[in-house]
């Protein structure tokens, strides 16, 4: 994947009346990358995608595609096809006619249309459904038709607005693999909007986390998961335990932070300079927390009571509450949990290594 920017958002703002949907945004989307944009409802992610598609015009700033300003370029001249959440297929047309539609609109001759449609029907493994009405297809099959219709024009970039949200869980996983493999094979830039962390983290090269019209963090999935920048990102991911307090001591190897739950040693963050008495917030991922029935020797330990258990496949998330009311999570394998024999209300010791913690630089 090259570092060359295919799309540039330069100081882009979008207002609807007095409501600011997107705050001043600077974002480069690299040529050939899979970029996912995440955030809760109303964060501005879909508006960002719509501005790139030409469905909404920026109030301020400039959007450039392949170096050219496209603010005033109509949708049909942008070559930025979109796969919608609803798929927006034509129910009165066959599969072949749906895939062929955009080529007809471009005036592509019949022979070339036929060649391209045949190619994409085969590539998406839907040739056998070519003459079938799309209303008679399964959700996964309709998804493949929508992809074929968007990619048959061979664009440089494909926009996807929560395209898997209507699928069953097992179909989502299958389509994630299809999308990921397709993007790698074609080398096309994918810009993918989603609520789902599992979708974004399993497919994307980089992830953009948005909140209230602002970009909170951009990075690869590993960076964002292990090193969230702000409290919002840490809490949005749902896997981090968040502690807030003040710096009580600093050494060359660690920072001690006094919180309502106790004093804990935290790994220093080279991107955030701290002094004694400064406010600081740190996080510990639930999969890096240790649970034990006996008090551990480490200084990073606290008592908690078991609130409940959440089954998540191969692992379970244990919900805990500290003596000070702090809510905690620990993600463990079922084998580990069997040895602990946890029951709601039981007291357990929670601990972690200093290097398993991360000071939030954006707080």
Token pair 């007809």 in the structure block, residue: 104
How high is the pLDDT of residue 209?
97
Q: Is the pLDDT of residue 166 over 80?
A: no
For tokens 């598609």, the residue is 53
**Which two structure tokens, joined as six digits, stand for 359?**
């000071």
Query: Are 5-226 and 231-359 the same fold in CATH?
Result: no
- The top-level CATH class assigned to 231-359 is mainly beta
Tokens, residue 82: 């979109």
Q: What percent of the chain clears pLDDT 90, i.e. is strictly above it?
A: 77
Q: Please tell me the distance from the alpha carbon of residue 21 to that of residue 48, in angstroms, as a whole number.
A: 9
pLDDT for 111-141, tens place per residue? 999 999 999 999 999 999 999 999 899 888 9
**What's the mean per-residue pLDDT of the chain?**
93
The answer to whether residues 47 and 56 touch, using CB atoms and an 8 Å cutoff, is yes
Query: CB–CB of 144/177 below 8 Å?
Result: no
**Dihedral sign (CA 133, 137, 143, 144):** negative
Torsions phi, psi of 284, nearest 5? -130, 120
Q: How far apart are CA 320 and CA 330, in angstroms?
A: 8
Looking up tokens 């301020």 gives 60
Q: How confident is the model over 169-193, as pLDDT tens digits?
A: 888 888 899 999 999 999 999 999 9
Contact criterion met (CB below 8 Å) for 318 and 330:
yes
Average pLDDT (210-232) is 96
DSSP H/E element including 124? none
**The two structure tokens encoding residue 100:** 């062929």
314 band by pLDDT with thresholds 50, 70 and 90: confident
Give the residue from 101, 359, 349 showing the smallest Cα distance to 245.
Answer: 359
- Measure the CA–CA gap between 141 and 132, rounded to whole angstroms: 11
Shortest CA distance to 130 belongs to which of 96, 106, 160, 105? 96
Q: Say if strands 279-285 and 357-359 run parallel, antiparallel, or are unpaired.
A: antiparallel
Residue 108: φ, ψ to 5°: -70, 135
Q: For strand 189-194 and strand 157-161, is the pairing parallel, antiparallel, or unpaired?
A: parallel
Task: Inform me whether the pLDDT recorded for 196 exceeds 60.
Answer: yes
φ, ψ for residue 199 (rounded to 5)? Answer: -65, -50
Backbone φ, ψ for residue 200 (5° rounding):
-60, -45
Q: Reply yes or no on whether the pLDDT at 312 is more than 90.
A: no
Q: Which two tokens stand for residue 312?
A: 């998540």
Confidence of residue 345 (pLDDT cuts 50, 70, 90): very high
Q: What is the pLDDT of residue 163?
A: 87
More confident of the two residues 351 and 270: 351
* pLDDT exceeds cutoff 60 at 251: yes
Contact 163, 193 (CB under 8 A): no
Tell me the average pLDDT across 20-44. Answer: 96
In 17-113, at which residue ranges do the beta strands (DSSP E only) sit? Answer: 19-30, 34-38, 60-65, 68-69, 82-83
Residue 2 in this model has a pLDDT that exceeds 50 = no
Q: State yes or no: pLDDT of 155 exceeds 80.
A: yes
- Residue-wise pLDDT tens digits, 268-305: 998 899 999 999 999 999 999 999 999 999 889 999 99
Angle at which helices 169-186 and 139-151 cross, to 10° = 20
Please give the pLDDT value at position 299: 86
pLDDT of 336 above 80: yes
Pick from 12, 104, 5: nearest CA to 50: 12
Please provide the CATH number assigned to the domain covering 5-226: 3.40.50.300
Residues with Cβ within 8 Å of 55's Cβ and at least 6 positions away in sequence, in order, are 75
pLDDT tens profile 58-110: 999 999 999 999 999 998 888 899 998 888 888 899 999 999 998 998 889 99
Q: What are phi and psi of 343, to 5 degrees?
A: -135, 150
**Domain range list for the chain:** 5-226, 231-359
Tokens 């993600």, residue located: 331
Average pLDDT for 221-230: 94
pLDDT of residue 1: 42
Q: Residue length, the chain?
A: 363
pTM for this prediction:
0.89
**For residue 209, with 0-12 CB atoms within 10 Å meaning exposed, 13-18 middle and 19 or more buried, which class applies?**
buried
Beta bridge partners of 91: none
């Amino acid at each position: 994947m090259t570092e060359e920017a295919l799309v540039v958002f330069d100081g882009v703002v979008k207002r609807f009346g007095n409501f600011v949907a997107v705050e001043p945004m600077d974002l480069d989307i690299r040529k050939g990358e899979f970029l996912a944009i995440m955030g809760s409802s109303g964060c501005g992610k879909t508006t960002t995608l719509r501005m790139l598609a030409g469905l909404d015009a920026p109030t301020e700033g400039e959007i450039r595609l392949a170096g050219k300003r496209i603010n005033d370029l109509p949708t049909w001249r942008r070559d930025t096809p979109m796969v919608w959440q609803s798929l927006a297929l034509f129910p009165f047309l066959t599969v072949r006619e749906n895939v062929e539609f955009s080529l007809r609109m471009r005036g592509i001759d019949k022979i070339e249309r036929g060649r391209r449609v045949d190619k994409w029907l085969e590539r998406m493994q839907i040739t056998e459904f070519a003459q079938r009405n799309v209303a008679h297809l399964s959700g996964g099959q309709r998804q493949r038709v929508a992809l074929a219709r968007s990619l048959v024009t061979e664009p440089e970039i494909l926009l996807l607005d929560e395209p898997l949200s209507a699928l069953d869980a097992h179909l989502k996983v299958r389509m994630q693999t299809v999308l990921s493999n397709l993007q790698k094979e074609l080398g096309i830039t994918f810009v993918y909007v989603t609520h789902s962390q599992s979708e974004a983290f399993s497919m994307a090269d980089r992830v953009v986390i948005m909140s209230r019209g602002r970009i909170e963090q951009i990075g690869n999935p590993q960076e964002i998961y292990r090193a969230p920048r702000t409290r919002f990102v840490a809490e949005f991911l749902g896997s981090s335990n968040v502690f807030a307090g003040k710096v009580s001591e600093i050494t060359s190897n660690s920072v001690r932070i006094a919180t309502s739950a106790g004093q804990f040693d935290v790994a220093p963050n080279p991107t955030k300079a701290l002094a004694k008495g400064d406010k600081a917030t740190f996080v510990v991922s639930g999969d890096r927390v240790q649970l034990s029935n006996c008090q551990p020797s480490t200084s990073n330990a606290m008592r908690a009571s078991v609130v409940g258990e959440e089954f998540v496949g191969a692992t379970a998330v244990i919900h805990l509450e500290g003596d000070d009311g702090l809510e905690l999570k620990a993600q463990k394998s079922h084998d580990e949990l069997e040895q602990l024999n946890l029951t709601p209300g039981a007291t357990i010791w929670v601990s972690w290594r200093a290097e398993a913690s991360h000071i939030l630089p954006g707080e």
